[in-house]
Structure 1
Amino acid sequence: MLSPLRSFSPFRTAARGLEAQRVALGVATENIANATTTRTADGTPYQPKRAVHEAPAALRAFESSLRAARLPLQTANGRHIGGVRHQLATNGPELGPTTEVVGEARERLEYDPTHPDADADGYVHYPDVNVVDEMARMISANRIYEANLTSVKAAKEMIKRSLEI
């Protein structure tokens, strides 16, 4: 019988994915909004940011175990599978990505001696934000967010149908 805690695992994993894409969408939006910000509160140009996603240790351990077990699983003898066991904690591992926002010190120079933030040589330091790339990141984050929502709906439907039996 499926334990109640394990049945909510897809929701926890999808929630982590939804959060990761929400952060990525927010970072891309912030970059676009500040694409021409030449002076922040500390007097420097805006620094573009990136949302960096990393798989959790539990997933990396699973992937390495899967790679190690690949050859024995290709045989026709079902007893080979018996040696590979993964014990999960009762509340299950966190399988969604962790997301960190990192700043990137990139800037582009534009010659405009009339600009109030121009340096002594007449160059204005703008953040190096490519709006097209940021829009592509936003679209990608939105699609992945939708895929996570679809997995939540599918898990809900499976649980609902299993309760009808």
Structure 2
Amino acid sequence: MDLKNSVEVSASGLRAQSLRMRIIAENLANADSVATTPGGQPYRRRVATFESEVDRASGAQGVSIRSIEGDKSAFQRVYQPGNPAADATGYVLRPNVNSLVESADMKAAQRAYEANLNAIEAAKGMTMRTIDLLK
């Protein structure tokens, strides 16, 4: 694999992790939101799934987002009869977002993003050293 391909692979990782971090930030922002209508559905946590993709021209294998889907786990039910979003029995559905899980996912995405940046910097450094040797 040449240096150009290695940078392209890392760049695909940067794009994927950047989108993952945006989705996690959206989940965290909506962790306390409830439905706007009585008995309605609150915000549903979203999860990004990755897939491997091959660049046919170079043969390099990168990563891309396969899909962004709603988490199928159950909503949390909280008894709040005075809440405008409460159903007929007084329960309000809360989002299925766990802030602790989202924070851990965000940290993992940040680390993966940093690793891809470091790989690009290493490729850039090797290119600069090669140019210096050719002088």
Q: Per-residue CA shift, 1:30-68, capped at 9, x if unaligned?
A: 111101111269x53111000111222x4xxxxxxxxxx
Q: Per-residue CA shift, 1:139-159, capped at 9, x if unaligned?
A: 110011000000000000111
Provide the aligned length of Structure 1 versus Structure 2: 129
Residue 118 of structure 1 aligns with an amino acid whose one-letter code is A
2:41 matched residue in structure 1: 44
5 Å-filtered alignment, 1:1-165, equals: 6-39=2-35, 44-56=41-53, 58=54, 91-99=57-65, 100-106=67-73, 107-165=75-133
Q: Secondary structure at the match of 1:129?
A: coil
Residue 52 of structure 1 aligns with an amino acid whose one-letter code is T
Q: Is the 8 A contact 1:112 1:123 kept in 2?
A: yes
Q: Distance in 2 between matches of 1:117 and 1:40?
A: 6
Gaps of 5+ in 1: 59-87
Q: Distance in 2 between matches of 1:48 and 1:159?
A: 42
Residue 98 of structure 1 aligns with an amino acid whose one-letter code is S
Residue 103 of structure 1 aligns with an amino acid whose one-letter code is G
Give the structure with the higher percent strand. 2
Aligned-residue Cα RMSD (Å) equals 2.1
Q: Secondary structure at the match of 2:61?
A: coil
Q: Distance in 2 between matches of 1:28 and 1:139?
A: 10
Residue 16 of structure 2 aligns with an amino acid whose one-letter code is A
Runs of 4+ in structure 1 over 6 Å off: none
Q: Distance in 1 between matches of 2:60 and 2:30?
A: 34
Max radius of gyration: which structure?
A: 1
| TM-score, with length taken from structure 2 | 0.86
Q: Distance in 2 between matches of 1:53 and 1:119?
A: 37
Q: Distance in 1 between matches of 2:123 and 2:3?
A: 9
Q: Secondary structure at the match of 1:159?
A: helix
**Percent identity over paired residues:** 35
Task: Decide whether aligned partners of structure 1 residues 122 and 40 sit closer, same or farther in structure 2, where only a CA change above 3 A counts.
Answer: closer
| TM-score, with length taken from structure 1 | 0.71
Q: Distance in 1 between matches of 2:36 and 2:125?
A: 48
